[in-house]
Amino acid sequence: MAFARLTSIVWIALAASQLVKGAATAYKCSNGKVTANAACCALFPVVDLLQKDLFDGGECGEEAHSALRLSFHDAIGFSIHGLGGGADGSILAFNKTENAFHANGGIDDITDRQFPVFLESKLTAGDFVHLAAAVGTANCPGAPRLEFKFGRPAPKAPAPDLTVPEPTDSVTKILARFADAGFSPQEAVALLSSHTIAAADVVDPTIPGTPFDSTVGTFDTQVFLEVLLKGHLFPGNGSQAGEVLSPLAGEMRLQSDFAISQDSRTACFWQAMVNDQNRMVTEFKAAMAKLQVLGQNTAKLVDCSDIVPVPKSFTTNIKFPATFSKKDVQIACPKLAFPSLATVAGPAPTIPPV
């Protein structure tokens, strides 16, 4: 009885503190929506526009995946040593120039899709590219709710070439590029969580839309598991530059993902993600928050993170694809216990294209 009373007192105190918090930070927009800052009200219609005209009504489809990739290719055009505008939307505003860079192969699909919506949104290119990435990612179950900072000025110039890592690059070269943009090896691995909602169109152009894992519509840790499985096939027209043997028919494995999963500087960060959804989303969210404001004067940006839709959660344990088990894992971090995972029943799957 006394315990029940104590519980309800604690509950009422907690609820009251939440109300006070809400009252102190909430602003009611003319459309009835609530946000922490009046300046963010203008973004609600843009979120609706993105969902309707770009993301097929809120899907975690190809446009959502590509919007995330675009935010990386835009932002990484930056160096702590003074090069490039970073997360400024230059990749959209100067798409003719940046689409011609080798590492931006296939990016024209998403810049072409985004451009008319961008014009309609009336946002700057930087705000548009990074809002689209946050909203598109939120459509994928399991994803973190990414931050969104509002108020980037228009980009001044295209990013310089050779800032975007290529799948043919060595781990040393990739980590050096990330370090030059201000990211540690652990943060680089965290950013690669994005490849859980990814597919390749141009690595092997004979098989467009070939996913990097068996659950391309879910932001789970499956990609960290499947990149570690012994590979034995190429999903398309033999071996292409930047591609290595894959474990599953219909699945593409990037040479860079595999090399990073096996390298002593990154292998433990990679393996630690397997079946640790909380770790993955926490680290990915933090690294994305840094990426999406690279090169920006953050003191001038308004925090509009609360206009980003709340993603559906993903809480179940991941599984080995059918026929695979622990004996197929190429462990590169022996000091870390590998999680016990069940195996999907049935014959080995063929992963369909997206």
27: part of which helix (H) or strand (E)? strand 27-28
Smallest distance from the beta carbon of 149 to ligand HEM, in angstroms? 16
Contact string 1-40 vs ligand HEM (x = CB under 6 A) = ----------------------------------------
Residues between 244 and 303 that touch ligand HEM (CB under 6 A):
254, 256
Scanning 26-166, the segments in alpha helix (DSSP H) are 43-53, 62-75, 90-93, 95-98, 107-121, 125-138
Catalytic residues: 73
Contact string 150-169 vs ligand HEM (x = CB under 6 A) = ---------------xxx--
For ligand HEM, which stretch binds (CB under 6 A), given 3-11, 66-74, 313-321, 333-341?
A: 66-74
Smallest distance from the beta carbon of 64 to ligand HEM, in angstroms? 8
Structure tokens at 109: 């699909």
Secondary structure class of 118 (helix, strand, coil): helix
State how far the Cα of 38 lies from the Cα of 36, in Å rounded to an integer.
Answer: 7
For ligand HEM, which stretch binds (CB under 6 A), given 34-42, 93-101, 196-204, 314-322?
A: 196-204
Q: Does 234 bind ligand HEM (CB under 6 A)?
A: no
**Angle, helices 125-138/43-53, rounded to nearest 10 degrees:** 60
Closest CB to ligand HEM among residues 58, 209: 209
Q: Angle at Cα 311 formed by Cα 322 and Cα 354, nearest 5°?
A: 45
Residue in the block written with tokens 């090896």: 185
Closest CB to ligand HEM among residues 167, 231: 167
State how far the Cα of 68 lies from the Cα of 55, in Å rounded to an integer.
Answer: 12
Q: Which residue ranges make up the site for ligand HEM (CB under 6 A)? A: 62, 65-66, 68-69, 72, 106, 165-167, 174, 191-192, 194-195, 197-203, 242, 254, 256
